[in-house]
Structure 1
Amino acid sequence: MKKSIIILISILSFSCSDEKNTQDVPVENMYFPAIGSDAWDTKTISSLNWHADAVQPLLDYLDTKHTKSFIILINGRIAMENYFNGHSASTPWYWASAGKTLTSTMTGIAEQQGFLSVNDKVSEYLGVGWTSETPAKESLITNRHLLTMTSGLDDALGDDVSSANLQYKADAGMRWAYHNVYVKLQDVVASATGQSWSAYFNAQLRDKIGMTGTWLSSGEDLSVYWSNTRSMARFGLLMLNHGKWEQIQILNENYFNAATTTSQDINMAYGYLWWLNGKTSYHLPQSQLTFQGSIIPSAPGDMFMALGKNDQKIYIVQSKKMVVIRMGDAADNVNLALSDFDEVLWEKISALTGN
C-alpha cells in the first residue's frame, strides 16, 4: 500500500511539474492601456525567459521584408515594439483587409444592441436590387453569408461592389469565395442604426478602447481603416480578451466565439471575416481549391488572424496570451494571399519564445 501511495504522489508531482513547465506566460492579470494615454506597460525579454539571441534575427528578417512596424503583446503588455524605414509610433498606416475584422465586430455589436440579426436578409436593409441577381436569388443572401464569404456572388468581377457588378455565381451558402461584397455590411449597420458607419464605429468601438484612426475611401464604394500600430494592437487585445475591455463587454462572447470558429463547411479556416489557423484544410482567395493542413504550420494551432493586402497582420494566440501586429509594405514582390513570410516569421517568433 505504501509503495502504491508513493507511486501516486510521484505521478501527481510529475504531472504538476510538467504543467508548470509548459506555462507559456506567468499568471497575471490582463493589462489594458488607459484610454487617452500613450503610456503602456511593458515586459522584458528576460522576464519572459525568452531567448535574447533570437531578437536580432527576427528584427533583421522584418527589416528585410519591408516591415514598417511590429509589436508583440503578452497579456496586454508590450514585449517588443519596433519601427523601421522612417515609420514611427504616431505614423498612420492602412489595415487593408485586416480591417474586415472591424466590420465583423461592428456587425456583432449592432446585433447585440438589437438593431439587426446576422440571419436577416441583406435586402431588408439595403432594399431589393442591391445586386444584379433576380429578387429570388438576392433574397437568399443574409448578413451571415457576407460575414462568411458565402454570398454566391461572382468574385471574378473585381473589387467593384456596385449593384451592376454583383452578379450571380451560385446560390448563397453553396460556394465560398473571397469577395469585397462584405463591405455591404457597413451599409447594413448604417441603415439598421440610423447612423453613419464611421460615427457608429467611433462611438461603439474606437473610442471605447482608446483607438485612433479613420476610415478613408479607396474608391469603388470601399473604405479602408488607417491608424497607428498601437491602435491595431488595442483592437487585437480586445479580441484576445473575448471582446471585453477591462470590465466592459464591448462585443458579447457568443458572437466572438462564432466569429473565431469555423463558420461554414466549405472553408474550415474561416470564421466571420477572421482567418483561423490549425484547421484540417483551408481555401485561399481567388481559388476554389481545398488545401490540406494548417494555413501556417509553424504557428500555434489556436491562432486566429486578421490578414490584409501587403501583409498587414493581426495574429492572436489565446494559449499564449499573445497578440502580434505587423504593418508595412508587401514582404515579397509578388503578394499572394499567403506567402512563406508568415511561415518564416512564425519560425523566428518561436525561436524567440522557445515554443
Structure 2
Amino acid sequence: MKSIVYLSFFISVFALSCSSDNPTETPNPINTELYFPPLNSDTWDTLSVTDLGWNESEKQPLLDYLEAKNTKGFIILYNGRIILEEYFNGHDDTKLWYWASAGKTLTTTVSGIAQDEGLITIDNKVSDYLGTGWTSASLEKENLITCKNLLSMNSGLDDSLGDDVSPGNLQYVADAGTRWAYHNVYVKMQDVIAEASNDTWDNYFNAKLKDRIGMNGGWFSLGDLSVYASNTLSMARFGLLIYANGNWNGEQIVSESFINAATNTSQNINEAYGYLWWLNGKSSYRLPQSQLEFNGELIPNAPDDMFVALGKNDQKIYVVPSKKLVIVRLGDAADGENFALSTFDNDLWGMINNLIN
C-alpha cells in the first residue's frame, strides 16, 4: 500500500514539474512574418513598440518632434505590420495629401510593369514610342535619349527651363548619359506607357498597380506638374510593395529584377540615384538644381541599405530592408521649402534610431 502512495506522490510531482514548462502557459511569440493588409480595408495587423523591444520612452519625443515639424501623417511598418500610425495638425487616415516628387517612384514601378509585359524596353530610345520631335534637340541628339535616361535623370536636356515638357521647353544641353540633372522630363515615361499600351496613363496605372495593392487617391494637375495624392496608408502600401521586391501577398506585381535595378545606382554620375529612387550609403551624391557633387552619404544617420522616395516639402517613403522597415511621412515642409532632401531627413533618422535601437 505504501508503494502505491509513494508512486502517486512521484507522479503528482512529475506532473507539476511538467506543467511549469507547459508552453501553453507562456505568451505566444509575436508574429513578425511578412504581412500584407487586405485589399479593400485599411484595417491592418499591428505590433507595439514594446512588442519589438524598442525604446518606448523615445516614442513620445519622436511624435512631438513630428508634430512640431508640420507633419500630417506618419507610419512605421515592420515587415508589413503597423508599429506607429499617427496623424497631426488636423489630418486623419481618410484625408488625401500630395506625394510631390516621391510619386516619381510610381512612374518607375509602372515602367517596370510595362517592360515585364513586353510593352516597352527601357533601353530603347524614347522616340521609338513617341515619334521624333518630342524635344527641340536635333534628331541625332534626340535619338540618344532612352527611356532609361528619363528614369535615371541623365537625359541631357536643359533642367533650367521649368516643368513644362512641351517640345519647345525640352532643349539640348549635353548628350544623354553624360550629365545628371533633376528634371520633370521623366513624365514623358507616362506618355511612353500610354502609347505602348494603347490606353490612358491613368487607366493603365489603376489597373496594373493602384487597384492590385489596394491604394486610394489619384493623379491631379498642379500647374505643369502631375502629382499623386492619397491617404497615408496608401503610401505605406506602395512602400510595402517595393520592400517586398515587387510582390504583393504572393502575386508578383513588378519583377524583382526590375526593382533591384531601380533601387541601385543607375548611371555613373550620381551614385545616390537609381530609377527615380534616392539611394543611401553611397560615397557621394548630387542634388536638384545643382551640378555639384557632395561627398558622403545622402542621410548619414540612416542605414546604408536604405532607399528613399523624396518629394518637395518633405514627402518621404523610406525603405530599409536590413531593418524590415517602411516609414512614410506626409505633410508641409518641416522647415524651409525644399525640392527633395532636407536636414529634416537626418534629424528625423536620429530620433528613429533612438526609438528602434
TM-score normalised by structure 1 residue count? 0.91
Name the counterpart of 1:113: 117
Match of 2:164 among 143, 155, 160: 160
2: CA distance between counterparts of 1:27 and 1:59? 25
- For structure 1, list consecutive stretches of 5 or more residues without a partner in the other structure: 1-25
How is 1:171-182 mapped onto 2 (pairs within 5 angstroms)? Answer: 171-182=175-186
| Secondary structure of 1:202's aligned partner | helix
Offset of residue 223 of structure 1: 1.1
Match of 1:289 among 289, 292, 299: 292
1: CA distance between counterparts of 2:286 and 2:210? 31
**Identity over aligned residues, as a percent?**
62
Offset of residue 158 of structure 1: 1.2
How is 1:78-157 mapped onto 2 (pairs within 5 angstroms)? Answer: 78-157=82-161
1:158-197 residue CA offsets vs partner (Å, 9 max, x unmatched): 1111110000000000000000000000000000000100
How is 1:175-194 mapped onto 2 (pairs within 5 angstroms)? Answer: 175-194=179-198
Match of 2:264 among 251, 261, 281: 261
Offset of residue 334 of structure 1: 3.7
The residue identity in structure 1 corresponding to 2:261 is: A
The residue identity in structure 2 corresponding to 1:32 is: F
2: CA distance between counterparts of 1:333 and 1:277? 22
Contact kept, 8 Å, 2:319 with 2:325, in 1: the verdict is: yes
User: Does residue 1:54 correspond to 2:58, yes or no?
Assistant: yes
TM-score normalised by structure 2 residue count? 0.91
The residue identity in structure 1 corresponding to 2:338 is: N
Contact kept, 8 Å, 2:44 with 2:81, in 1: the verdict is: yes
Offset of residue 27 of structure 1: 7.7
| Secondary structure of 1:156's aligned partner | coil
2: CA distance between counterparts of 1:38 and 1:288? 43
Runs of 4+ that moved beyond 3 A = none
2: CA distance between counterparts of 1:273 and 1:27? 33
1: CA distance between counterparts of 2:41 and 2:337? 39
CA RMSD of aligned residues (A): 1.2
User: Does residue 1:335 correspond to 2:338, yes or no?
Assistant: yes
> How many residues matched?
329
Offset of residue 124 of structure 1: 1.2
| Pair member with larger Rg | 2
The residue identity in structure 2 corresponding to 1:349 is: I
How is 1:231-270 mapped onto 2 (pairs within 5 angstroms)? Answer: 231-270=234-273
1:52-80 residue CA offsets vs partner (Å, 9 max, x unmatched): 11011111111111000100000100000
Moved more, 272-281 or 337-346: 337-346
1: CA distance between counterparts of 2:317 and 2:201? 22
| Secondary structure of 1:80's aligned partner | strand
Match of 1:320 among 319, 323, 337: 323
Offset of residue 335 of structure 1: 2.3
The residue identity in structure 2 corresponding to 1:192 is: A
2: CA distance between counterparts of 1:334 and 1:226? 19
Name the counterpart of 1:23: none
| Secondary structure of 1:216's aligned partner | strand
1: CA distance between counterparts of 2:316 and 2:340? 12
Offset of residue 93 of structure 1: 0.4
How is 1:273-288 mapped onto 2 (pairs within 5 angstroms)? Answer: 273-288=276-291
2: CA distance between counterparts of 1:100 and 1:60? 29
| Secondary structure of 1:155's aligned partner | coil
The residue identity in structure 2 corresponding to 1:42 is: T
2: CA distance between counterparts of 1:148 and 1:250? 22
